Structure 1
């Protein structure tokens, strides 16, 4: 999927803005996510750490929650930002969470405060994935 430069710029600003709300006192690594849904709306999320480390959640999961709460059903694209300069991608768990609401063609864009760095499809980052359609036929 190709997104216009205007939509990508809006998503980048939304993701960077979400980073400002990160609760990351342990790692100091603020992450933001901006998720575009099937209705063209942008939903944001940030990482929230917890002293009991496995109990925190990622920016992408937060954005998915915002999308579902707003009535969104499908993710079209997600833009994730970190502090830079290293390019970040959704973690394995978030790749699977995104797969619940998108197919292999989901556009995943990485950015940082200096701009957009790279993009992939979910299929490139999570090949041969298991999704909802696998449960639709019972053998």
Structure 2
């Protein structure tokens, strides 16, 4: 990955992650990619973002290996953006942000979208860290160990 895409000297994985996907547009592009949006025009319409900003964020996401550009699946001359395995591994991050927003950013009874398990038709369970024994893991039960 190019040095300008990552805080190469930063030892914190959160800081490095935010450097790559932490801005509004990058996260929303990834969200829309999970929802099936794959063409530039489609992403621009969905997001209402300026072309130059969208182009810049797509380029950075491709450089970071989160999205891949490939020929359109319908055989047209267009290109499409698809999530790589690295990009698909962001799904829990997007789900966690969604669930946090559902819990804290909507008034009681206010309408919002819900992520549904296609197999059951039910909302997916709340994501939360779990210990090896399967029990809940609150922040107070964890610590960050700095590597020497």
TM-score, normalised on structure 2? 0.25
Q: Which has the higher strand share?
A: 1
Give 1 or 2: higher helix fraction: 2
TM-score norm. by structure 1 comes to 0.26
For the pair shown, the structure with the greater C-alpha radius of gyration is: 2
Higher relative contact order (CA 8 A, sep 6+): 1
